[in-house]
Each structure stands twice: as C-alpha cells, then as structure tokens.
Amino acid sequence: MPVGENGRLMRKEGSILEPVPRARRLKEEEIAGDYCTRFVHGAAVLVARDLFLAMGGFDEKIFLYHEDDDLALRALARKLPIIVVRAARVRHGGGKSSTPRLSRTFAINRRKKQSELYVRRKYGHPVPRWRDAVTLASGCALALATFDFHRVAIRAGKLRALFDPPA
C-alpha cells in the first residue's frame, strides 16, 4: 500500500463518484491481508499491460488527477478484481515534484477540478456548478479571513476551473 511522507497509509476506499464516509472506512488494524476493493490510490497501481491496453489505457482528457477513479470504474464494468496487496509498500512524496508556490498550488488545483468535472460528466454524475461555486467561494472567503493563502490558492484554482470550457 502507498505510504505518505508522514508514514501514514494512503488508502482509497471511495471516489468522487462513490464517496465512503470516514466512519465506514477500514482502519489499518482491521486489515488482516490482501483484499478486494472498488478503488485504489493512483500513487500505486500495477496492472498487466495487455489488460491495461484492453481497457483503453489512460483517458488523455484526464490530467493526472482522478485517472485512478476512471481506471477503477472501467475495471469494475468488466468485472475485473481490484486487489490491495497488504504487504506491498510504495513511498509517495506527495507534492514533492514541484516547488511550493501559490501560483503552482492554484494551477494544480485548477487542473484537478477540471479532471473531476470531466470524470463526473463522463460517468453521468455532474454536480451543479453553482453549488460548487458557492462552496468554493465561501471557502476562499474563510481562508482569506484567516490569512491562509495556501487554502485560498487551492479553492481559487478550483473555482477558476468551474468557468473553463468543458474538456
């Protein structure tokens, strides 16, 4: 399982389309061995090349974020098992590929939201943009009020994506 820089396991039991409430998620001590799941974290996905190609590979309209959700949904549609190997370990240095700057945080979160909107449309689960806009604008205001400019950049990037043309 992927392990973050903080040493915690990075598991993904739900997706943007099928969220799993925190209270229903498996705890590390409840996992005795390998298990089947519906989604896995994109930081550590291994799949046979022929199977990957048969499923259509990566969707080129998805930039970096939510491609794991898309692959999992296509595997599930083909009734293919998604297995988490308990003993596997992958070190993931989240956010280490770029220097921490507010402009990058804005750009990354804009792309992340664009991918989310595309995947939601692709699978017939769009969220009204006005609802997203209200939530994100409120989050920007709160982050500004507390001088948390990193959170402002995150929410502002996602808010900007709502006004981009669909992919």
pLDDT digits (tens, 9 = 90+) for 102-152: 999 999 999 999 999 999 999 999 889 999 999 999 999 999 999 999 999
Percent of residues, the chain, with pLDDT higher than 70: 90
Which contiguous run of DSSP H or E holds residue 20?
Answer: none
The pLDDT value given to residue 50: 95
Q: How far, CA to CA in Å, does 163 sit from each of 3, 41, 132, 157, 160?
A: 35, 28, 11, 11, 6
pTM of this prediction? 0.84
Average pLDDT of the residues of the chain: 88
The pLDDT value given to residue 45: 86
The pLDDT value given to residue 98: 65
